Amino acid sequence: MSLNSTEPREPSAAVVAAYNAVPNVVWSVLAFGPLVVACAHYVERPWLWVVVVVSLSAYAWPVAWLRRLQLSGRVAQYERLGVPAVGRLAQQGALVNRLLRRRYPGYRVLAGLQGVARLVSATYQQERFHWAGLVGFGLVSGHEAAVGHWGWALGLTGLNVGYNLYPIWLQQYLRIRLRHLPRRG
């Protein structure tokens, strides 16, 4: 980028959303593709409605429940489990932010205390999404095990860990790190 360039130093919200959509779509297709195939071929419609209703109930869980479900209050526990590696490849992760900063040097994820508050709120919403997924994938995996489809049960369980459990831990890890940021007025 030359000094005379008219390109903005900070990206628009639409540009940030587009950059973040790429990992979101990739991971979602990789996880939901097999889930949709398993449900379409092996899960009876009444059971599917149970899965949908029960898993979507996670969106109604209050923050107090999410805090009680937190794995640990210490960053070290999450680091031992490799959670920061997930953050590198996730939406709003290190890779996406590095690419945005390369093109827009003024880009920052957090802009003051309001930015921190917005990010904390977003982590709770993302955690709810992944709890809904964890419950839904878990119910379908349990169904597949109950009917003897062990390959599907194990495969969906593995996807559940990668697509839902680790991202839940990532949201918890991010909140712990945000709590320990130096306070600036």
Q: What is the pLDDT of residues 23-46, one digit of tens each?
A: 999 999 999 999 999 999 999 999
Q: What is the pLDDT of residues 127-152, one digit of tens each?
A: 999 999 999 999 999 999 999 999 99
Per-position b or e across 33-44, b if 16+ CB within 10 A of its CB: ebbeebbeeebe
Per-residue confidence band for 7, with pLDDT thresholds at 50, 70 and 90: low
Angle at 150 between CA 147 and CA 156, to 5 degrees: 105
pTM of the model: 0.89
Examine the pLDDT at 114 and tell me if it is beyond 90: no
Per-residue confidence band for 111, with pLDDT thresholds at 50, 70 and 90: low
Q: Taking a C-beta distance cutoff of 8 angstroms, is the pair 146, 172 a contact?
A: no
Q: What is the pLDDT of residue 40?
A: 97
Please indicate whether residue 166 or residue 108 has the higher confidence score (pLDDT): 166
Mean pLDDT, the chain, whole residue set: 91
